[in-house]
Structure 1
Amino acid sequence: MRELTTRPGVYRMIDANGVVMYVGKAKNLKKRVSSYFQKTHSSPRTAHMVERIVRVDVTPTRTEAEALLLENNLIKSLNPRYNILFRDDKSYPYLRITNHTYPRVAYYRGAVDKRSQFFGPFPNAWAVKESIQVLQRVFLLRTCEDTVFAHRSRPCLQAQIQRCSAPCVGRITPEDYALDVAAASRFLRGDHKSVLAELEDKMLEASSLLEFEKAAVFRNQLSALGRVLQKQSVDTTGGEDDADIIAVVIQGGAVCVNLAMVRGGRHLGDKPLFPSVNQVSEDLGPEVLEAFLSQAYVDRPIPPLLIVNQDLDAPELIMALSEQAGRKINLIRQPQSERRKWLDMAVDNARIAIERRIAEQGSAQFRTRALVETLGLEARLEEALQEQGGTREMDIKPLPVAPGTDDAAAELEPVDLLATLRVECFDISHTAGEATQASCVVFHNHDMQSREYRRYNIEGITPGDDYAAMRQAVTRRYQREGKEPIAMPHVVLIDGGKGQIEVVRQVFTELGLDIGLIVGVKKGENRKVGLETLVFPDGRPSLELGPGHPALMLIAQIRDEAHRFAITGMRAKRAKARQASALDEIEGIGAKRKQKLLTRFGGLRGVKAASVEDLMTVDGISSTLAEEIYRRLH
């Protein structure tokens, strides 16, 4: 420890197998790392980890903010066993105002850039869409796609119901529209008073100039904005607060972090998150809160006020967040007045989310157990678990033991036998043989694992040959020579009857795999759910479980997910192929001209809707070529 630096940075706790068990950050690396090797520890969980440490690697950084960023990146890439991990498959949604001459307001999810204005993040899609409706009612901003906007000849329904100022047909000048956009931006930032004052001044000015129609527009905007603000004042103070309310609740062996967002005094809703925790205990709240703050705000803006329900002794973390945000971040543990109501509501919603999750997990485990018992998989699961060094559900699996530690003294943790069940399901999708795609979805740990889904583009077969497509997909999935190995499933579901089953049986035989893993799902009369028959290639008799059987409901859920995943991929592939081929077949259209056309009109649909004169406005498109494009596309 003597050679450790006192600079800020990140440390990694590594076990005897070279596996990173924990990643942490520190203002003073030497002081922080040394604290782990004291005689007493803050929790049994920490003591368990320290017993297994054989090496500590450190990476010094210049500032605490850099340490915060590095720690978050390492946690996401390494998934350390003893870190509290927040996994969220979807990014937070934003409200986007584009940079066009007549900017468009739209829902957006993804990485932000400097080409547009972004407001958020919002806790859910509903909050974004409600804000868009407000902007439509008050500021009459357009929401239509660019391809629609560019080819309107008369106002749309939104303009007729007073939800849009119809810039597509020139009812408003770019200058006046820009003023509405600026007012909308200020409103989204919480500057309601200046927006109201500006609208009132414009109304009075237009009235004094006897421009009564223009004054009526401002009057309507004032009225609509007043109604919006009056509605918001029921639930909030109407102040200028930007705050995140973070409630950590531990109940029934589950941990929930409920994040509620308040922007400009508007309560936008909340979002429950369930972190991955190695061991759950009642005193874990502060550690969960610290992990959330470390991971949640690295790639998104942080408000100036955080309201929490846990005591947090981490001043260096708040300083790092303040440094990253470029302003002071205040953290309040005991809020008063309206803020107390916000926090109490967030805590209540966290408890409700935990109860709902426990109920859902109970139902999921019930279906998993029914499938295991129906297919007789218990012995197979136990055998697979024993090969990994564990035993069945109520027994125990030893954790790795640090060098010099007595094996008998090693701590043990329970293993859920049902959660080890791994099911993979295949489906084929195409349109009359066009754009054939196969999907493989994965069910594990009582839930669908979307990160492990795979799509396979099927090529080199007779169009419409589902058997050949299935053969190719299954072979590519399980033939691992020269490829990274994968975890073999306990069940391979095939959406189809005896024909598809026979093809998969042949592939498994060729690859030396157990054909007992294969289960075919043959559709029943009129393709109704609950009438399916389970078909086996190893000689077992077929099974008709009947409507409502929990095992069949789980199989149907997995099968339907495979179908959804296949058909969405097929449609995207088909659209891409059709977009390319329609223009590629026209003589004189190369890659550059095709790209210019698609960019100018927003896609093939926009190119089809364009007139000859519109096509001639694209660089490199002559009148003769424009006429040829129009003729071929029509």
Structure 2
Amino acid sequence: DPQAPVPRLELVRRRKQDGALYFGPYHSAASIRHTHALVSRYFGLRTCSDAVFRNRSRPCLEYQMGRCLAPCVRRVSPRKYAEQVEAAVLFLKGKRNEVVKLLTDRMILCSFRENFEEAAKIRDQIKAVQEVMTSQGVVLPASMDMDAVGLAREGDTVAFAVLRFEAGVLTERVPYVQSGVLAADKDLIESFLVQYYARSPIPAQVVLPRWLAGSTQTLAQVLADRRPEGVAVKVAWKGQLNQVGKMADENAAAILKEALASHEARHRAAQRLAEVLGLRGPPRRIDGFDMSTLMSAEPVGAMVVFMDGKPERRAYRTFSVRLEDGPGDVGLMHEVLRRRYSKVPPEEVPDLVMVDGGEAQVRVAAAVLAEVGMLAVPVVGLAKSKVVDRGGFGAAMHSPERLYVLESSEVDGVRESAVRLVVPQQNDPGLHLLMRVRDEAHRFAVTFHRKRRHRRQTASVLEGIPGLGPRRRSLLLRAMGSVANIRAATLEQLKAVKGIPA
């Protein structure tokens, strides 16, 4: 908020009609955090909340790291802080040349006043901003805000590249890849841009591939309705626009090549995994499970899903274990798998189930799958490497990663099963695919367990009282002041609180 006495730099998800200056939206969390770090490093604006700012008595770590001017303890004058805010706003608006000019004028003024230490700091600030400008690499002759869109396709895989120019400087390349696409290129690019600009800022000019000449009217109308200032939709026909269009197409081709190489690597890993485990074909969907607990407190389970070798985060699930099938890792595993697969939709049946553990976990998983009629789904356990010999010198010796594979056979009408130990080459791509599934399941389970523990540690004792919801708890705390006072109060005093039924 530029009207605040000491404006701060803040990351937010939504704009509000509060008079503050908003910049964005940005296309990814990484890009906005990078910009946030640049502004903090070069301009030293505070990022702390107003409550923290009011109660500071000494500079924080951000000041020690050179990322804040410490206005909370008056290490910087209000005038100088306001000058830094002005320069930061120009920087965020993409007016880098104006920032350099403004800082240069201040440096000259400090030198004229023989304040050489301050002039040296501003000189370093100018150099840093110029390095950012140089790193952009591509600068258009005209200062304009423009997006150039490129498309590359091979089979049913399509890659888009959006080159974002701000004030004539290339600031970002936004890649998108889609697979399983059957639509025509013209329909694809129109559909993509309508969705893309639904959550991205629309520039003054959008440059499309030249083969769309004569087919831009509909898209231009849609974008113009969303941007009151108007937008010019052009094709990369000749001159400067042709060069920018070629650059966008080349970027899209590079993105497509990288995506296809990554897809082939994932497919090879799945094929190799099928060979190691003796499966009929490469597993397309892999469900991975892991349990997490601490001293038997707050036991939880987690399931992650990998589709075609990539995490499918929308399909992840967490389970608060009720200890219905007994304690211990085996009991937890049995309950989680039973709850997951007892009513699983047909389209979510996996090609492979992976559990974190050895023979005991594999047998439990196989028993649950047999109970729910999923005998055909293979099960594998992955036992992680562990230290076997620390030795006196050098690195410790580790055991290899080991696989436990369930094999079933039928002898004289009796179905028998055995668990086979497999120790593949430690650089096997199939093994590394399973390790990624295992590590992701572990991360997801531990994260959920920490949230549960934190919620329990910070919960109020009032939350366990039946019939006492959030509103009544709030009324009691406001009236009594603390939980201790509530505990010491008589029944008549509690009934006297407004909002508490007598």
TM-score, normalised via structure 1 length: 0.62
Q: Which residue of 1 is the match for residue 44 of structure 2?
A: 140
Task: Give the aligned partner of residue 89 of structure 1.
Answer: none
8 Å CA contact 1:441, 1:454 repeated in 2 = yes
The residue number in structure 2 matching 1:49 is none
Shift in CA distance, 444/192, structure 1 to aligned 2, threshold 3 Å: closer
Q: Does the C-alpha gap of structure 1 residues 230 and 341 become closer, same or farther in structure 2, counting only changes over 3 Å?
A: farther
1:224 alignment partner AA: Q
Q: 1:353 & 1:463 partners in 2: Cα distance?
A: 50
The alignment status of 1:447 with 2:310, answered yes or no, reads yes
Q: How many angstroms does 1:555 deviate by?
A: 1.8
Q: CA 1:341/1:170 → structure 2, altered by over 3 Å: closer, same or farther?
A: farther
Question: Structure 1 residues 303, 519: CA separation in 2 closer, same or farther (over 3 Å shift)?
Answer: same
Alignment equivalent of 1:265, drawn from 157, 164, 168: 168
Q: Aligned with 1:261: secondary structure? A: strand
For residue 302 of structure 1, the aligned residue among 202, 208, 218 is 202
Partner of 1:534: 404
Q: CA contact under 8 A between 1:432 and 1:463: conserved in structure 2?
A: no
Counterpart in 1 of 2:422?
A: 544
Q: Report the identity percentage.
A: 27
- 1:248 is matched with which residue? 151
Q: What residue number does 1:423 align with? A: 286
Task: Name the counterpart of 1:168.
Answer: 72
Partners of 1:422 and 1:444 within 8 A in 2: yes
Q: What's the counterpart of residue 347 of structure 1?
A: 249
Q: Is 1:517 the equivalent of 2:378?
A: yes
1:171 partner letter: R
- Superposed CA RMSD: 4.2
**Counterpart in the other structure of 1:47:** none
- The alpha-carbon deviation at position 326 of structure 1 amounts to 1.1
| Conservation of the 8 A alpha-carbon contact between 1:530 and 1:548 | no
Query: Which residue number in structure 2 is paired with residue 475 of structure 1?
Result: 338
Shift of 1:166: 0.6
- State the Cα distance separating 1:427 from its structure 2 match: 0.7
Name the CA shift for 1:339/1:579 in 2 (closer, same or farther; >3 Å).
Answer: farther
Cα drift, residue 473 of structure 1? 1.1
Residue 205 of structure 1, CA deviation: 8.0
Instruction: Rate the CA distance shift 1:196–1:364 in 2: closer, same or farther, 3 A.
Output: closer
Please, which of 228, 234, 237 is the counterpart of residue 326 of structure 1? 228
Counterpart amino acid of residue 242 in structure 1: D
- What are the Cα deviations for residues 450-469 of structure 1, in whole angstroms up to 9, with x where unaligned? 21111112235699732222
After TM superposition, the structure 1 = structure 2 runs for residues 153-302 of structure 1, keeping only pairs within 5 Å, are 153-160=57-64, 162-172=66-76, 177-178=81-82, 180-192=84-96, 217=118, 220-221=121-122, 224-225=125-126, 227-229=128-130, 231-232=132-133, 235-237=138-140, 240-251=143-154, 254-279=157-182, 284-302=184-202
1:45-104 Cα offsets, whole Å, 9 max, x none, are xxxxxxxxxxxxxxxxxxxxxxxxxxxxxxxxxxxxxxxxxxxxxxxxxxxx89976443
**Structure 1 277/499 Cα, relative in aligned 2: closer, same or farther at 3 Å?**
closer
Q: How many residues align?
A: 459
Unmatched tracts of structure 1, length 5 or more? 1-96, 382-417, 597-617, 627-634
Alpha-carbon distance in 2 for matches of 1:147, 1:526: 48
Give a deviation string over 1:213-247, Cα, whole Å, max 9, x none.
Answer: 6x975884476246524651563248642222211
| Superposition deviation, residue 138 in structure 1 | 3.9
Displacement of 1:426: 0.9
2-side partners of 1:231 and 1:550: how far apart?
39
**CA spacing shift, 1:595–1:576, aligned 2, 3 Å:** farther
| 1: CA distance, partners of 2:8 / 2:175 | 31
- Checking the alignment, whether the CA contact within 8 Å between 1:423 and 1:490 is kept in structure 2 is yes
Residue equivalent to 1:561 = 440
Offset of 1:334 from its aligned partner? 2.5
Distance 2:78 2:142 in 1: 32
SS of the aligned residue for 2:290 comes to strand
1:376–1:268: structure 2 CA closer, same or farther, 3 Å change rule? same
Q: Is the 8 A contact 2:208 2:245 kept in 1?
A: yes
DSSP 3-state at the match of 2:336: helix
- Mapped to 2, the partners of 1:457 and 1:98 lie a distance apart of 46
* 1:139 to partner: Cα distance: 2.6
Amino acid at match of 2:168: G
The TM-score with structure 2 as length reference comes to 0.76
SS in 2 for 1:119: coil
Residues 341 and 565 (structure 1 numbering): CA distance in 2 closer, same or farther, change over 3 Å? farther
Give the distance between the partners of 2:471 and 2:142, measured in 1 at CA. 53
**1:397-450 Cα distance to aligned partner (Å, 9 max, x none):** xxxxxxxxxxxxxxxxxxxxx4x7322111111222333221111222343322
Q: Secondary structure at the match of 1:311?
A: helix
CA distance in structure 2 between the aligned counterparts of 1:573 and 1:259, rounded to whole angstroms: 41
